[in-house]
Structure 1
Amino acid sequence: MNEQFTLEVQLNVEHTAGSFGEIAYRWFDDVSARVAAEARAAVAPFTATVGRPPTPFGPLGEPGTIFGVVQCTRMKTAFESTTTERNASAAGMRWLRTQLADMPAQASMWFGRLDEHGHRSGRLLYLRARRLADSPDWLRLEAYLDEPEFTDPVRGQDRQQRYLEAAWPFADEFDPGFGDIDYTFNGETTFETSLRSPERPRPWWDHTSSVNHCREFLRGYSWLTILPKELAAVVGGAGALTASGAFGQVRQLRHGGLWLLATDDYRDYDQAAVERVFRALAPALRAGTPTQWPRKSGESPQRQVFRDAARTGS
């Protein structure tokens, strides 16, 4: 059986962009409306309060029923947290907005279907916004999806386009320091994972702090890469990247950054395309030869070029 991997849409937004709570709420509201409109409509009439089964571990409803929940997690101490939850209904979204007025450590939205036992299962949509203690000036906007959504021969391109269209307004308006769509590595980019080593400074590869330096060095490269304005000139600007032939789309963002889509169809993002993107963006990456780690079952592949970016010719 072929392994299925998780893709992550990620944007790193700095505090200067505006209220983190308002940006996070827009992320949940706008992306879910574009990507999971039917699920939003299905749960919209529900009360805010989440119903509980009459018995422990009992069913929440009929198998196949769509559910949607929003959650907020606040830290009580460095190691203790509390999570509150509501339905992602119209009433629940009003609750979410009040909670985000004081931005929690993490907020999330999850739509899926109840399984054969009436328990929550699957992923029609999963969104998250979080602010980490080691990088408090940055908000991470994230979406997670199963790769077959993008590779499906019938619906794949439509799903790709929906996620791209959902991400674009945030990339254009909020001047992100970084953004991408790639396999997920628990916070790190694929490139950062490849640089992980006790012999290298932790901010090079640990996502909790690497985001603090994303305007100095590109965190990674992938099918979609959002390059901050500070690094656009380092790689020659939009004209040079267009001429490189490495990208299907090179789009200027409002504040000077660049939206770089390697191929118009995700299914065409093969190793040759990865190589082209690496060569074009190498001047913005940290120096050092990446390591290809042994991959355990269930882990994402390292879709990378394992050469030192500093030694890559133009």
Structure 2
Amino acid sequence: MAGHDGEAQGGITLNSTLRAEINLPCPASGAAYRELAEAWFSAALDELAGPLGARFTPAADFTHRAAALSRGEAAPGELWATLVLLEPTERRQKPYEVPWTPKNWTAFLRDLAAMPGHASVGLRAIGRDGDPDEPWLDVSVVREHETPERVSLVASRTTEEFTDPGARHGAQRRWTEFFRTQVRRHEGLLYGNITDDGESVTGRTALETDLGLLLEDTFPHLDTVLRGYAWWTVCPPGVVAALGGIDALRGSGAFHEVEPLPGGGASLRATENIWAYGPERVREVFLALAPVLPEGQPVQGIPWMPSETSRLVYEDAADHR
């Protein structure tokens, strides 16, 4: 599903995937890491799956569906759920992808205490060809090898609900309530966003991608420099201070909602509805946040998916300070 910046049908058309992300200091212990990850997985599965999760419960066992998939006999429209662990940190632990079962879920949670590099839960509908397809929801906890002192909580979902005028308000309500709750509950938050133009393979923001930056370039500077800007952007205390504080952010007129966070951070929602986040508001957000964005001229035309629209202003932020 391609994205467009036209204002027909009540706003922009979203790209194919909506992504929520929160970056935090990595917990010091395996027990704290597991607690952080389990809470994120549980909340995202409960609140973001929507109709996709109507037939999912933690007690579900997908063993028989795994067998049906292997034989090419899975029925279109059925649900498929997996648990994935990559980049294990313990020698005895091996990467795996297994069907969701209560037993596998228990083992997956136990393995989180070893603080692996990547752990994820996925829900997918079986497509017409009998393979896992759209819609889908992926929820992950990522600890990059180059920056193990940071942890990223990520939830990505296909945006088909937002193309339906009768469903999009309910879908946005779920995302809004989920993200607001998560942002409020985490201390030491370094960055966060909800966006439809993130790069899903490496986890980079659209700005990082078009500036040619890697996560190892931006993660060490999250205290003072934003990774990007989006419909919903969350800033740490150092960034808020550099922008003049909460009153200055409210006075900029770029944001529908500016919420102070414990410790001095701020949660910035550009428009009430994500489909109203068109080019004019994108530019207002860019200008308001330019003092804390990475320097450099973004290069247009190198999107990770050519059919997707980047919500960026293709100017050097340094020219607007």
Same fold (TM over 0.5): yes
2:147 pairs, out of 112, 135, 142, with 135
- Residues 1:163 and 1:150: Cα distance change in structure 2 (over 3 Å): same
Q: Deviations over 1:115-140 (max 9, x none)?
A: 23432222342111111110101111
CA contact (8 A) 1:49 1:92 kept: no
1:6 pairs, out of 5, 8, 17, with 17
Aligned residues: 302
CA contact (8 A) 1:172 1:255 kept: no
Structure-1 separation of matches of 2:270 and 2:73:
43
State how 1:120-159 maps to structure 2 within 5 Å. 120-159=132-171
- Paired letter, 2:198: T
- Moved runs in structure 1, 4+ residues, more than 6 A? none
Displacement of 1:17 in angstroms is 8.2
1:93 pairs, out of 105, 111, 117, with 105
1:234 is aligned to 2:247: no
1:22 pairs, out of 10, 35, 44, with 35
State how 1:43-58 maps to structure 2 within 5 Å. 43-44=56-57, 45-47=59-61, 52-53=66-67, 57-58=70-71
Alignment gaps of 5+ in structure 1: 197-204
- Residues 1:277 and 1:47: Cα distance change in structure 2 (over 3 Å): same
CA contact (8 A) 2:210 2:303 kept: no
Q: What is the TM-score of this pair, normalised by structure 1?
A: 0.85
Alignment gaps of 5+ in structure 2: 4-14
Displacement of 1:49 in angstroms is 5.1
Displacement of 1:209 in angstroms is 4.2
- Paired letter, 2:138: Y
Q: What is the TM-score of this pair, normalised by structure 2?
A: 0.84
Q: Deviations over 1:209-235 (max 9, x none)?
A: 421211121111010000111111111
CA contact (8 A) 2:45 2:53 kept: yes
What secondary structure, in the 3-state scheme, does the structure 1 residue paired with 2:87 have? Answer: strand
1:162 is aligned to 2:174: yes
- Residues 1:262 and 1:17: Cα distance change in structure 2 (over 3 Å): farther
CA contact (8 A) 1:282 1:309 kept: yes
State how 1:1-314 maps to structure 2 within 5 Å. 2=2, 4-15=15-26, 19-36=32-49, 40=53, 42-44=55-57, 45-47=59-61, 52-53=66-67, 57-59=70-72, 61-75=74-88, 82-87=95-100, 89-174=101-186, 175-182=188-195, 183-185=197-199, 186-196=202-212, 205-295=213-303, 298-312=306-320
Which residue of the partner structure matches residue 202 of structure 1?
Answer: none
What secondary structure, in the 3-state scheme, does the structure 2 residue paired with 1:125 have? Answer: strand
Displacement of 1:265 in angstroms is 0.4
Structure-2 separation of matches of 1:151 and 1:251:
28
RMSD across aligned C-alpha pairs, in angstroms? 2.8
Identity of aligned residues (%): 27
Structure-2 separation of matches of 1:143 and 1:64:
22
Structure-2 separation of matches of 1:225 and 1:295:
21
Displacement of 1:5 in angstroms is 2.7
- Residues 1:57 and 1:225: Cα distance change in structure 2 (over 3 Å): same
Structure-1 separation of matches of 2:262 and 2:64:
40
